[in-house]
A and B are shown apart, each in its own frame.
Chain A
Amino acid sequence: MDEQRIYELLSSDNLDKENEGMEMLIQHKEYLMQKHGRQMQNYFDEREKHEIFIEKTQTLLEIIRVDNFEWRGKSSLERFLFTLIYRKIQNEVRKKRMNRLVEITRKHENQTSITDKPSSEKKWAEISRFIDQRLGKTCEKVLIMRYYEGMQLDEIAEEMGLKYGTTKNNSAKCMNKLKQLIKENPNVRDYFRGLLED
């Protein structure tokens, strides 16, 4: 794969060249996706694999467009795209496994009683402010990396300059703190349940 050529095309500010670069990337789809072998085989059909690949190549293009990608020589584009796809896969796998788990527990009482749906921006602003204040910046950062960006604990540890064990403890503590907030505050709980229904 001629990475440098692809990078030049994608960063050209010219639609035709961008398209050419995207086509070149797409030609290497199988090569780029086979690196995610086992998880891909177990959890995704061909259509889903294709969608993930297309979505992340478009993300890559947008990141290059806003100059948020730094070309660092051979393999940098491939590694970056690998990370984009890897994290997407992690998040999607977790989502699929969570759905399976929720399905298993569905027979329990009080699991699907939606009492409120996201209604107003004002209400969200109150909830968001409440969580900000109670959760704290560090916890929020850890939880965003773990559950929004799909980063693994070792990646978070590296990012935050902490030991793996500390990061693991922090992540669990922060998650417990958020869960406690949800448990103790019906407004927050109902709002988040409403998000699930949307």
Chain B
Amino acid sequence: MKYTEIIDKYLDGKMTSQEEAAFEAQAKTDRDLAKEIELHQLAIVGIQYIQETRYQETKVRVEALVREVEAEQSTHLVVEESNNDVVRNEPKPPPPVIPIWIRHKLLPIAAMLLLIPTIYFIAVSYSNPLKETSVALIKHYEGTTQGEDNPDKPEKTVLLDAIDLFKQGKYKEAIPVFDGIISENVADKPSAQILKADALYRQGKKAEALHVLKSIKKEDDSTLYENVQKIIKKME
């Protein structure tokens, strides 16, 4: 049996314990086998990198096109509204459709995405490992403070101010506001720490972002803590 198949058999755990011991003993002394093992490892790393890179490139292209579509749709909406101002009695026109040229551009890419097996459609995470958690937190705070059964609290308002700055991309200005919440508001401290870390990360300050994430304590919020440990692992 050739090296490739033997190595795969070992990696798949399909050898008997005797075969496994013999193979490991051979790997210790057989230089050719050792070189093959290294090549095998490099080939696996290479193929994984090829696919992950391809996935990221496709994702960026699709996101760019989706932005184009959204921009195009909002242009249609503006035209539609101004027309409605002039001729109010006419029946409402149908909702804006995606222009054909954009649809044609989207289709092959959508098809490419479908070819990527579903299992890895999302498995390769977004380039910013904090993004998803931050979006969820922002949704949460914006949702809870707007609810009727959640009277405005001063702390929430400060946090929402910081979130507004964050959403506008004013990370430098948002960070001191997050710092204020971290030192004064126990309830929102872990959320503010995560958002501060994201603001740092988006400015390219990965090490500082990691430092902030590592300062989050389990006792402050065990659910967020679990999530943060996963983010740290991705970032390291």
Contact = CB atoms under 8 A, between A and B. Distances in A.
Interface of A: 15, 39, 51, 54-55, 59, 62-63, 66, 68-69, 83-84, 87, 90, 93-94, 97-98, 101-102, 104-105, 107-111, 124, 128, 131, 140, 143-145, 147-149, 152, 168, 171-172, 175-176, 178-179, 182-183, 188-189, 192-193, 195-196
Contact of B37 (A102, A143, A195): A102
Contact of B28 (A54, A84, A104, A175): A104
10 contacts: A87-B119, A98-B11, A98-B41, A105-B28, A131-B46, A140-B47, A147-B43, A148-B52, A189-B42, A196-B41
Contacts of B117: 145, 149
Interface stretch (B2-10, B83-91, B175-183): B2-10
A31 B219 CA distance: 28
Given A98-B37, A104-B28, 13 more contacts: A15-B136, A62-B122, A63-B121, A94-B44, A101-B7, A110-B35, A147-B44, A147-B48, A148-B51, A176-B4, A188-B46, A192-B43, A195-B45
Contacts of A188: 46
Interface string B1-35: 01011011011110000000000100110010111
Interface residues of B, number: 48
Given A15-B143, A69-B118, A172-B2, A178 B27 contact: no
The 4 nearest A-B residue pairs measured at CB = A62-B122, A105-B34, A108-B34, A192-B42
B226 A15 contact: no
Contacts of A145: 117
Contact of B46 (A39, A90, A104, A178): A178
B53 interface: yes
Contacts of B7: 101
B13 to A, nearest CB: 6
B48 to A, nearest CB: 5
Given A131-B46, A131-B50, A54 B230 contact: yes
Interface in B91-136: 117-123, 136
Contact of A97 (B10, B31, B143): B10
Contact of A179 (B39, B53, B230): B39
A161 B36 CA distance: 30
Given A59-B119, A128-B53, A107 B13 contact: no
Given A55-B230, A87-B119, A195-B46, A97 B11 contact: yes
Contacts of B41: 98, 102, 196
B24 A59 contact: no
